[in-house]
Amino acid sequence: MPGITREEVAHLARLARLELKDEELDHFSGQLDDILGAVARVSEVADQDVPPTSHPLPLTNVMRTDEVRPSLTPEQALSGAPAQEQQRFKVPQILGED
């Protein structure tokens, strides 16, 4: 597999609107070439009988049961607010919506 060239890195940098110095282009082209080589090695190992996965280990969400606990009253929660309205924090409008 041919390596990624300095010109390709410069092109990618322009697309990403990044200003890279000459030494950075050389440095990143070497790094990206190493990354592409590692991906190619992984692709060689992957076989038809190995299903694609999003994570190497099975994931499960561990949720605690909801239970009512003592908490702040609305008055206590709003006590330090600079402005409040209908038991809610009042903030300046920023999107021009109601």
Tell me the pLDDT tens digit for each residue of 5-61. 899 999 999 999 999 999 999 999 989 988 888 888 877 776 777 777 777 777 888
Residue 90 confidence class, pLDDT cut points 50, 70, 90? very high
3-state secondary structure the chain: CCCCCHHHHHHHHHHCCCCCCHHHHHHHHHHHHHHHHHHHHHHHHCCCCCCCCCCCCCCCCCCCCCCCCCCCCHHHHHCCCCCEECCEECCCCCCCCC
Q: Which of 50-54, 59-63, 84-88, 92-96 has the lowest mean pLDDT?
A: 50-54
Residue 83 has pLDDT above 90, yes or no: yes
Answer yes or no: pTM beyond 0.75.
no
